[in-house]
Amino acid sequence: MAQVRIEHIWKRFGAVTAVHDFDVTVKDGEFVSILGPSGCGKTTMLRMIAGFEKASEGEIYIGERLVSSSREKTFVPPEKRDIGMVFQSYAVWPHMTVAENVAYPLKIKKVPQPERRERVQKVLEMVHLGDYAERYPHQLSGGQQQRVALGRALVAEPGLLLLDEPLSNLDAKLRESMRFEIKALQKKLGVTVIYVTHDQAEAMAMSDRIVVMHQGVIQQVAEPMDIYERPANQTVADFIGLVNLLPGEAADGVVRLAAGGEVKQETSCRGPVQVAVRPENISLSRSSGCVQGVLTHRVYLGDAVDYRVQVGDKEVRVIARSDEYGDFSDGETVYLNFSKAMFFSQERC
């Protein structure tokens, strides 16, 4: 296992700053995801940890070893950083069998063949490919090829495993099952993992902590529950999960919505605010609520109903239990009740 200390890392490409003052410590055996939209700098940060990019400023330690420092003029190449890496594209060699693909890092390190065979078979069993050793990549499914890439990264027993959107090429059902396989494997081995993704569900399901990035800047570092329920700012709230944003004015513990109605929930905010409410924290009523709207349409999802309610010029999304599907009709005037709301202001609340 390896602790990773990333201290005040900056990365500039000419006049463009891709990563701004990234400062995070990943503990031994921790699973940390770097989450954000395309172009936010998350893959660039991972490539600097791996040694495929040089940081413009700052320092990176893997374990107690300084592997990158602009101040000390230190730069350790990727092959000497004790890392395993899994790429989005799998990067398995088509002319090699599964066993040969997985064995390649050991071959480069000149590990004796008997030991190599034993370690390869052990890893193949671990990633559920024990019976596929002699097959070629074209004979495997996408999920199986991803397991080959994972096995190859693990066979050298690295202290740190880096994964760059490894599930994005898989279909939804396989992607979900692979999340749990990777997490179970990480727990079993106790390896430190840094995982880059734009998929919120992946990050929420797998991570001990999440680093949310936007435009190269860390917005929040926290456990999944805190990220979802206590976002640090509107950017995080809007990116993580579904959220409705309604403008309002806060004064004396009450927020008056621009579309009409009030939200009576304690807040220290003053002046113009954005009221953020998750769809599952809204209930519908025919008689009373904090805001009035018109139900425009509803979608039955099996376990839930997705309602769309027009409130002024805003469409509000409400997620309710499926047994409520017949309770309301399209075109009906309804009232919305907020069980929990968040408030974001230009001024610190």
Question: What mean pLDDT do residues 289-307 have?
Answer: 91
The two tokens of residue 331 are 């075109």
Report whether pLDDT(327) > 80. no
Q: What is the pLDDT of residue 173?
A: 82
pLDDT, tens only, 47-105: 999 999 999 999 999 999 999 999 999 999 999 999 999 888 778 899 999 999 999 99
Higher pLDDT, 326 or 65: 65
**Residue 118: φ, ψ to 5°:** -65, -45
pLDDT at 1: 62
Residue 217 above 70 pLDDT? Answer: yes
User: Does one domain contain both 161 and 267?
Assistant: no
The verdict on 162 and 66 lying in the same domain is yes
Same domain as 338, residue 256:
yes
Q: List the structure tokens of 196.
A: 């880059």
Say whether both 219 and 283 belong to one domain: no
pLDDT at 20: 97
Please check the confidence at residue 349 and state whether its pLDDT lies above 70.
Answer: no
Q: Which of 205, 234, 263 is the last residue of a domain?
A: 234
Mean residue pLDDT across the chain: 91
Q: Which of 184, 216, 234 is the last residue of a domain?
A: 234
pTM over 0.75: yes
Token pair of 334 as six digits = 């309804």
Structural domain including 99 reads 4-234
Answer yes or no: do 228 and 261 share one domain.
no
What is the DSSP secondary-structure string of 18-64?
EEEEEEEEEPTT-EEEEE--TTSSHHHHHHHHHTSS--SEEEEEETT
pLDDT tens string 121-138: 999 998 889 999 999 999
Residues 220 and 286 in one domain: no
**103 and 202 part of one domain:** yes
CB of 237 closer than 8 Å to CB of 40 = no
Q: What is the pLDDT of residues 14-35, one digit of tens each?
A: 999 999 999 999 999 999 999 9
Same domain as 332, residue 216: no
Position of tokens 């579904």?
242
Q: What CATH code is carried by the domain that includes residue 336?
A: 2.40.50.100
Domain boundary among 217, 234, 251: 234
Residues 225 and 130 in one domain: yes
Domain match, 68 and 181 both: yes
**218, 164: one domain:** yes
CATH of the domain at 194: 3.40.50.300
Total count of domains within the chain: 2
Helix (H) or strand (E) holding 277: strand 271-277
Mean pLDDT of 263-288: 89
Residues 195 and 338 in one domain: no
